[in-house]
Amino acid sequence: MSIRNQSFCFLFCIFPLLMLSQNRLRDHGVEIGVLQPGQFNALTDVPGVQVGHTTIIQGDDIRTGVTSILPHSGNIFQEKVPAAIYVGNGFGKLAGYTQVKELGNLETPIVLTNTLSVPTAMNAVIGYTLHQPENENVRSVNAVIGETNDGYLSDIRGRHVTEEHVLKAIKNAKSGPVTEGNVGAGTGTICFGFKGGIGTSSRVLPKKSGGYTVGVLVQTNFGGVLQVAGVEVGKKLGHYSNSFKYSPDGSCMMVVLTDAPLDSRNLERLAKRAMLGLSRTGGIASNGSGDYVIAVSTAKACRIPYQSDDPIQLHPTLRNGAMTPLFLATIEATEEAILNSLFAGETMIGRDGHKIEALPKEKVIDMLKEAGKTTP
The string of DSSP letters for 47-74 reads: TT-EEEEEEEEETTTEEEEEEEEESSSS
DSSP state of 1: -
Residue 278 resides in a domain: yes
Q: Which residues are catalytic?
A: 251, 289, 291
pLDDT over threshold 70, residue 250: yes
Q: Which residues pair with 64 in a beta bridge?
A: 56
- The structural domain count of the chain equals 1
Question: Residue 305's CB: how many other CB atoms inside 10 A?
Answer: 11
CB 41 within 8 A of CB 201: yes
Contacts of 30 (CB under 8 A, 6+ apart): 228, 229, 365, 368, 373, 374, 375
Average pLDDT over residues 118-142: 98
Alpha-carbon 323 to chain mean position: 22
Whether 25 contacts 281, CB under 8 Å: no
Q: Which residues pair with 66 in a beta bridge?
A: 54
The domain containing residue 198 runs over which residues? 27-306+316-370
Could you tell me if residue 20 is inside a domain?
Answer: no
pLDDT digit string, tens, across residues 79-100: 999 999 999 999 999 999 999 9
Q: Give a yes or no: residue 82 inside a domain.
A: yes
Residue-wise pLDDT for 301-352, tens only, equals 999 999 999 999 999 999 999 999 999 999 999 999 999 999 999 999 999 9
Q: How confident is the model at residue 245 (pLDDT cuts 50, 70, 90)?
A: low
Q: Residue 269 falls within a domain, yes or no?
A: yes
Identify whether 15 is part of a domain: no
CATH code of the domain in which 325 resides: 3.60.70.12
Q: What percent of the chain has pLDDT over 90?
A: 89
- Prediction pTM value: 0.93
Tell me, yes or no, whether 376 lies in a domain: no
The H or E element spanning position 305 is strand 304-305
Predicted local distance difference test score (pLDDT) of residue 20: 41
d(CA 333, CA 300): 23
Mean pLDDT for the chain overall: 93
State mean pLDDT over 131-151. 97
Report the relative pairing of strands 194-195 and 197-204 from DSSP bridges: unpaired
Closest by Cα among 24, 16, 19, 21 to 344: 24
Examine residue 18 and state whether it is found in any structural domain, yes or no. no
Residue-level pLDDT at 19:
38
Q: Does any domain span residue 54?
A: yes
Give me the pLDDT at residue 175, please. Answer: 98
